[in-house]
Amino acid sequence: MASALILAGCAAQTPQAQLATPDTVRICTGHSCTDQPRSAALPGAVPSAREAQADLRLQQLEALAEDNPHAAYDLGLRLLRGDGVPHNGYQALQWLRKAGEHNLLAAQLLLGRLYLAGLEEMGRDAAEAHTWLSRAAAQGSAEARQLLIMAEKAKGDDQAQYQAREQARKDWEQWMQSTSPSSSYYWHWGHHGWQRH
């Protein structure tokens, strides 16, 4: 019966009316439905206020990160975690390297961990881990000196590489769980944009 009514409704329309795209579309959220302009239903057509605010924060942090190694580290860590920004391991690595190249100890240590563990799409690279951990150890990091021993072993035989990689993964997971995101960053979003602690 319902299908007969639908067919009857379609038959009553002219062919041009049947092919025309309506200007509005019915969007339902929760228990209510409303007719909204078709552009509102297209993905990415009109960003929500929340999305627009997130885009603004990301753009401003990227601008800060160009000249500030602490902001570059924050951006890399946020991208790695997907914290307030879309997760992107490749971009995270680029921003962390930028911070590390400016001798930011936290970035050098994190890069050493990442290269030692070989997380995500990035393969393990014991030589690269050794490079970053050496730089961090030269700045006096006792943690980097300990990890450097693992990196040196990982450059050797296969068994040592496996053990070093597994230990680095465990250390990485523990670090990610033990560090609260809010205490990990140098910059935080406030009423007047990004502010340094």
**Which residue, 20, 27, 63, is CA-closest to 42?**
27
- Which residue type, as a one-letter code, is found at position 158? D
Q: For 36-45, 97-106, 137-146, 174-183, which range has the lowest pLDDT when averaged over its residues?
A: 36-45
Classify the phi-psi angles of 83: left when phi > 0, otherwise alpha if psi is within -120 to 50, otherwise beta: beta
Q: What is the pLDDT of residues 42-74, one digit of tens each?
A: 455 556 777 788 788 889 889 999 999 999 999
Q: What is the pLDDT of residues 110-140, one digit of tens each?
A: 999 998 888 766 678 888 999 999 999 999 9
Domain boundaries, the chain: 50-102, 103-179
192 or 161: which leads in pLDDT: 192
Task: Indicate if the pLDDT at residue 10 is higher than 60.
Answer: no
Q: Quote the pTM value.
A: 0.60
